[in-house]
Amino acid sequence: MSENENNENNKNNKNNPKREETRGKNRTGSQNKRSDKQSDKQSSSKLSIEDMASFCKRKGFVFPSSEIYGGMAGFWDYGPNGAELKNNIKNEWWKFHVQSRQDIVGIDGSIISNPKVWEASGHVSGFGDVMIACKKCGERVRADVLIEEAKGIQCDGLTAEDLGKIIQENQITCPKCGAFAWEEPKVFNLLFKTHVGAVEGEKSVAYLRGETAQIIFSEFKNVFEVSRLKLPFGIAQMGKAFRNEIAPRNFLFRCREFEQMEIEYFIHPEKKNDCPFFEEVKEEKLLVYSAEMQEKGTEAEQMTAREALEKGIIQSPWHAYWLATELRWFKRLGAKPENFRVRQHAKEELAFYSSDCWDLEYKFPFGWKELQGIADRSDYDLRQHTEHSGKDHSIFDEEMKMRVMPNVVAEPSLGVDRSFLVFMYDAFDDNKERGNIVLHLHPKLAPIKVAVLPLVNKLNGKATEVYNSLKEKFVCFYDKSGSVGRRYARMDEIGTPFCVTIDFDTLEQEDVTIRDRDTTEQARVKISELKEVLSKLLEGEITIEDLK
């Protein structure tokens, strides 16, 4: 599911299938101001989200969608470099979570399903945010965001009535016209409605999926029967989801069309404390921000996954395992561990069926925000689909010789677009010494792996030979325009790890210069060895220094 169990349609806010992105603030009472002592000094020193959007546009990563017609809020198009980076992120996620594991398989479900799927899941009746409209200018905003931005008050778990009272008591005015004249707040359903077939009517109504999770649940029986899986196991999916957000904002962080990478991990209901993989990650360090720490207004604490489990802060070894595993995935691709923390949901934030939920959060320029939710969904979804479809979703557990309804002990649900932002921010370096931006992307993620640069146009023939010999193995770019220094800078700015320069010595010695993006160090390599050397450099098996 992904982005926060937030239920403002139900009086107690505990019924909504939506996981709206966690706000990641301290909680010292439902109407208390933020006191997050994990200071914002680091985030304030980062490039602003507006400047990041501008950089992404200039360098061909992301464009405002349909900009020639004025654009459309909440929709973005990935440019040449962005499409490559995004695909690399998805490929690395799939490789790490699906292809390299024996306990997880993947599916690719449809964007439009039978509407009964969304009725069973609760999305049709309870997938919403609280909206409030200004009587004077007609501006419509999310009530919780209005309060957060005006007063810094934590609003997780509050009803429409609660939010309305806070707005009235604090006399919060319209951000557009400045008037204090609000209509009553009401719940706005986020599902995009459409029609299937030639005739529009009540019977043709369908929905763009609001999350990828429900497709996994509705296909659970088919996947289990053909995959020969045994508990515990997971089903993964990557794909688009759509939410008609009231106030899309912060560039790629909150969009109306976005992409998810998600796993539903199923276990035997009697084996919630039996995680066979925990030993692999037990010493992984986490910055832990528990519900109790938030309630008391204390700082997050760094500890290992093992320590968090032993102290009872993280209660489930499965949660500890998946939080550590997901942080490890980001780290192995170059993300900076100091920008991450794990935050436990307060009781008011939990869905009624969830015993616990943790978020992996990242420190964006606008504060700590959710990257990934790790929720315990119990057997809620499978039971819902059993009840509404009339098809039994229980399975026979061969090991324990009994029929069970599997429980979702964890739901690692990650946004592709937010991951994109994380890797861009942690790679971004305004290098004053060089006088240009250097994007220190991990080689596995870099849009272009190798640039081939002839020193002068007279060397185009030889340079083209080198380029043609490399392009089948690596994503390459051929650049002959401008001074070689300027071409190096252009490659730095889009994250190309290595440049191969062809000079006049190449004609006589059959060798080239390889230049390292991060260090600017260079080494000469024979053309006959170039493929092998570049492969080792990109895999991190050797460095430029090893070639000298």
Query: Which of 383, 86, 411, 76 lies closest to 253 in space, CA to CA?
Result: 76
Contact (Cβ atoms closer than 8 angstroms) between residue 452 and residue 500: yes
Residues of the chain short of pLDDT 70, as ranges, are: 1-45
Residue 521 is predicted with a pLDDT of 97
CATH number of 41-424: 3.30.930.10
The β-bridge relationship of strands 476-478 and 450-454 is: parallel
Residue 45 is predicted with a pLDDT of 55
First CA to last CA distance, the chain: 50
Where in the chain do CATH 3.30.930.10 domains reside? 41-424
Q: In what order do the strands lie in the sheet with 511-516?
A: 476-478, 450-454, 498-502, 511-516, 522-526
Q: How far is CA 346 from the centre of its chain?
A: 22
Tokens at 30, concatenated = 């439902």
Tokens 């935050």 sit on residue: 343
Bridge partners for 289 per DSSP? 343
Where in the chain do CATH 3.40.50.800 domains reside? 448-547
Contact (Cβ atoms closer than 8 angstroms) between residue 2 and residue 262: yes
- The pTM for the full model equals 0.90
Instruction: Tell me the per-residue pLDDT of 483-495, one tens digit each, with 9 for 90 and over.
Output: 999 999 999 999 9
CA distance 318 to 315: 9
What are the backbone dihedrals phi and psi of residue 260, each rounded to the nearest 5 degrees, phi first? -120, 155
Reported in sequence order, the residue ranges of 384-510 that DSSP labels E, i.e. its strands, are 395-397, 402-404, 407-410, 413-415, 428-431, 436-439, 450-454, 476-478, 498-502
Question: What would you report as the CA-atom Rg of the chain, rounded to the nearest whole angstrom?
Answer: 25
Residue 152 is predicted with a pLDDT of 87
71: enclosing H helix or E strand: none
Q: Which CATH superfamily is domain 448-547 in?
A: Anticodon-binding domain (3.40.50.800)
Query: Which of 202, 148, 196 lies closest to 175 in space, CA to CA?
Result: 148
Residue 1 is predicted with a pLDDT of 44
